[in-house]
A and B are shown apart, each in its own frame.
Chain A
Amino acid sequence: MADVSPSKSLIKGVIKLTLFLGVGFAVLFILNRVLSAPTEDGYRFFPVIGSRVWVWIIAQLHLNFAAFVLGVPIFAVSMEFMSWRRNDERLDRIAYDFTKLFTLAYTLTAAVGTILLISLPVLYPKFIDHLMKILGPTWWVYVLVMYVETLVCYYYFYSWRQMKGSKKGTHVAIGGLLNIMGITMLLITSSWVGYMTTPNPHGVSETGELINRWQAIKSYMWIPLSLHRLFANVVFGAGIAAAYAAYRFITAETDEQRAYYDWMGYTSAMISIGFSLILPGIGYLLGVEIYSFNEQMGIQLMGGFFAWLWVMQAILIGAILMFVNYYLWISLNKMPGGERYFKYVKYLFIVNLLGYAVWLTPHSIALSLEEARRMGAYHPVLGSLGVMASKNTAVVVSYMATFLSFTIFKISNKEPIVSWAKLGHTIRAAVIVLSTAAAIAIGIYSYMVTSAVRVKVLSPIQFGIFFLSIIILFVLDTMMYKGAIVIGEPRWGKMPERSQYALIGITVTFTWLMAMMGYMRSGGRQFWHVYGIVKDTSPDAYLPTHGYAAVVSSIVTVIFFALIGLLFWSIMKLEKVADKGGAQT
């Protein structure tokens, strides 16, 4: 594949994309002719599983792939940039591998997107007509950007080898352009979803007439949702890259491969977790916007029908944190000098376990709004553990412990030589103890204040303290370990196989979580296509049980991993072919 010339690849890209769009529109045209007319209120029905589940699965799959191809370039290009500046061949190789992943995922993304493009107007003609009336022009911009994005992407990937050396700077710039295109696409798609969930009353009237298109695009959720997706895409993309590395590690045949993919898995996982630190903060912003759009929807999402899904989220994120810590602890084994730090693992584990326990404690059994209101009786211990005050504290403390696991892994094979090393260790201990104590103290204090103060003042302070302390610790370690004696290089590749399953576990859990959160975002509209404007009158206009939603999420995730597995497998096959070709010439 490396022998495809950049210009040929451009033609290939245009043809591919045009083919997909052409097939999409052609099938759409034919189906609209062939199929019987939609029902009076504008619906057609998908056989057997129903329109909702079909669109649900396809849309979530498309979103997963799109998140992947938009998320990976962000850190792939950053790494290429670093490799260029530092002249680091290994970074260049990993950036190239990342790029290979997302470039080859484009075809799958477009294929699933085409199915969605056909399904939506066929199954929901009236609703799509409405969307086109309000946001139509953005769709054509989207198609245009999609072409540019594909071209840039193909060019970026296939010109990698050629532009090495003196042209590297230009190549990185192309990568930058790729990301700008990606973010534009993200903004456009988020505006659609934002419009459906939180339509701006200045943009569209109550009867669904367009007032101002820009205002309609600029819905309440738009920017926070885009930001949330942007960072979640990086987390997710890096997670998939880690899963790829794990897959390659497990199937590797040589020690050299094992060492490289071990390192790739580690790097990807750390990017993933590092970016996930910001997500709660942006999620908070998103929540604030939803509340300011409509209190009713906010309460419904946070404490009403969906309350238990937040417990589910806690279970999942807790599991992810456990997996991450586990991976880091196992990694200590491969660090010369790592054995010195095993004594801390016990305590980190206990802190994590307690944090996890608090986080997944449910507050009340919220069967329905009415019952939740009327029951009122909480368990004396669980009742006070299951509220936001303690949960936020638990989250902060668990994240802190995870950061410390990362720190001990980083420093385990080094010995500081600076004269103030002893003082430095004391400062570190003091920062850890003080920030944890402060977080807990604020957590306890927030029981005594009104919810407004808790949400608007104390929680941000808590997260602020956390970020401040990890920045301090990071700076401190960087200074302390400058020119430190390295006891030994990490023995990359010397990892037990089970650590790789932890990486896969992280990615699967995260993908499932994404499916669930997507469902919640969509379900927040209840029985509306566009909240408050276009009513959903189809037979599917109800929220299914949590179990039903969980099963669909699992199905989506399994299909996604089957396709991703196919992608990984085809990459390996292509590589083998390329290797053979290389040997002959």
Chain B
Amino acid sequence: MKGGVLKLLIVVVGLNIFFAYIGLYFLPQSESRPPKETKIEKGISQDDLIAVGEQIVFSKGQCMVCHPVKTEVGMRAPAISTIGFEMEKSAKERNMKFESYVFEALVNPSAYIQKGFENMMPPIHKPPTSLNDGELIAVAAYLQSRGAKVSVSYPESVPVLKEQIDIEAKKGGK
């Protein structure tokens, strides 16, 4: 009877140690840290802007959750590697300037959905992603660099961005 209780104790503690062991030595170990806010200097060079944008796309922006790098079968969202080219084409079709188009796609994505995709993208200037103006422009510059000549710059593009944010805010007043 006494031995029984002891064995019980061994089973309970042993199983817990075993599970902790699996967690510690079997599963991959990595932490997920909250992203940092990036501040962008005025008059930043285009190459640097694109580099910052690339970083955001692959980390803080969490774009990779849905967007693949290369075109693949059954993708949820358009591929990043040719997105500038596609955007330029769509912007022309809709008689929009590239800048207005790309900012609309970022802050008011439900306004226009590429054919063959569903409306599922969140506006990324809002929580939980909450990119600031500079970051949004950097992302836009990076996207444009994927297949088009980069025209977005900081801080020159801020007014166009603000305009799109305002349109989204008015629509979102529901």
Contacts and interface: CB of A to CB of B under 8 A. Distances in A.
Does A touch B (CB under 8 Å) in the complex?
A: yes
Contacts, number: 135
B30 A553 contact: no
B159 interface: no
Contact of A368 (B5, B15, B30): B30
Contact of B12 (A451, A497, A533, A561): A561
Interface in B23-38: 23-25, 27-34
A247 B27 CA distance: 33
B30 A545 contact: yes
A247 B8 contact: yes
A544 B120 contact: no
A547 B4 contact: no
Contact of B22 (A299, A365, A532, A550): A550
Contacts of A546: 23, 27-29
A527 B34 contact: yes
B32 to A, nearest CB: 4
A297 to B, nearest CB: 8
Interface in A361-404: 365-370, 373-374
B64 A370 contact: yes
Interface stretch (A88-96, A149-157, A230-238, A502-510): A502-510
Nearest to A547: B24
Nearest to B77: A295
A549 interface: yes
Contact of A369 (B11, B28, B62): B62
Given A501-B7, A508-B12, A533-B127, A547 B23 contact: yes
A340 B88 CA distance: 75
Interface in B124-145: 126-129
A505 B11 contact: yes
A75 interface: no
B4 A251 contact: yes
Interface string A505-518: 10011001000000
Interface in B1-27: 1, 4-5, 7-8, 11-13, 15-17, 19-20, 22-25, 27
B1 A253 contact: yes
A508 B29 contact: no
A288 interface: no
Contact of A308 (B27, B33, B59, B127): B27
B112 interface: no
A367 B16 contact: no
B66 interface: yes
Interface string A545-585: 11101110110011001000000000000000000000000
Interface in B50-108: 58-59, 62, 64-66, 68-69, 74
A373 B28 contact: no
Contacts of B69: 373-374
A459 interface: no
Contact of B19 (A365, A369, A553): A553
Interface in A209-261: 246-247, 250-251, 253
A173 to B, nearest CB: 38
Nearest to A552: B20
Contacts of B25: 547
B129 to A, nearest CB: 8
B122 interface: yes
Contact of B31 (A497, A533, A543): A543
B127 A367 contact: no
B8 A542 contact: no
B17, B20, B58 — which one has the most chain A CB atoms within 10 A of its CB?
Answer: B20
Contacts of B22: 312, 315, 550
Nearest to B74: A450
A250 B4 contact: yes
A312 B16 contact: no
Nearest to B13: A558
A550 B19 contact: yes
B22, B27, B74 — which one has the most chain A CB atoms within 10 A of its CB?
Answer: B27
A41 interface: no
Nearest to B19: A512
Given A508-B12, A546-B23, A299 B122 contact: no
A288 to B, nearest CB: 14
Contact of A526 (B11, B24, B34, B120): B34
Contacts of A526: 32, 34, 128
B64 A369 contact: yes
Nearest to B2: A251
B23 A553 contact: yes
Contacts of B29: 545-547
A553 B58 CA distance: 31
B12, B28, B69 — which one has the most chain A CB atoms within 10 A of its CB?
Answer: B12
B1 A251 contact: yes
A28 interface: no
A528 B128 contact: yes
Given A451-B74, A508-B12, A550 B24 contact: yes
A461 interface: no
A145 interface: no
A295 B24 CA distance: 29
Given A365-B28, A369-B64, A543-B32, 12 more contacts: A295-B120, A300-B65, A308-B27, A367-B30, A369-B65, A541-B34, A546-B23, A546-B28, A547-B24, A550-B20, A551-B23, A553-B19
25 contacts: A206-B127, A250-B5, A251-B5, A296-B66, A299-B66, A300-B62, A311-B27, A316-B19, A369-B65, A373-B69, A504-B8, A512-B15, A512-B16, A526-B128, A536-B34, A545-B30, A545-B31, A546-B23, A550-B27, A551-B24, A553-B19, A553-B20, A553-B23, A554-B16, A557-B19
Interface pairs A-B: 9 shortest CB-CB: A550-B23, A527-B34, A547-B24, A250-B4, A532-B127, A543-B32, A554-B20, A546-B27, A554-B16
Interface of B: 1, 4-5, 7-8, 11-13, 15-17, 19-20, 22-25, 27-34, 58-59, 62, 64-66, 68-69, 74, 120, 122, 126-129
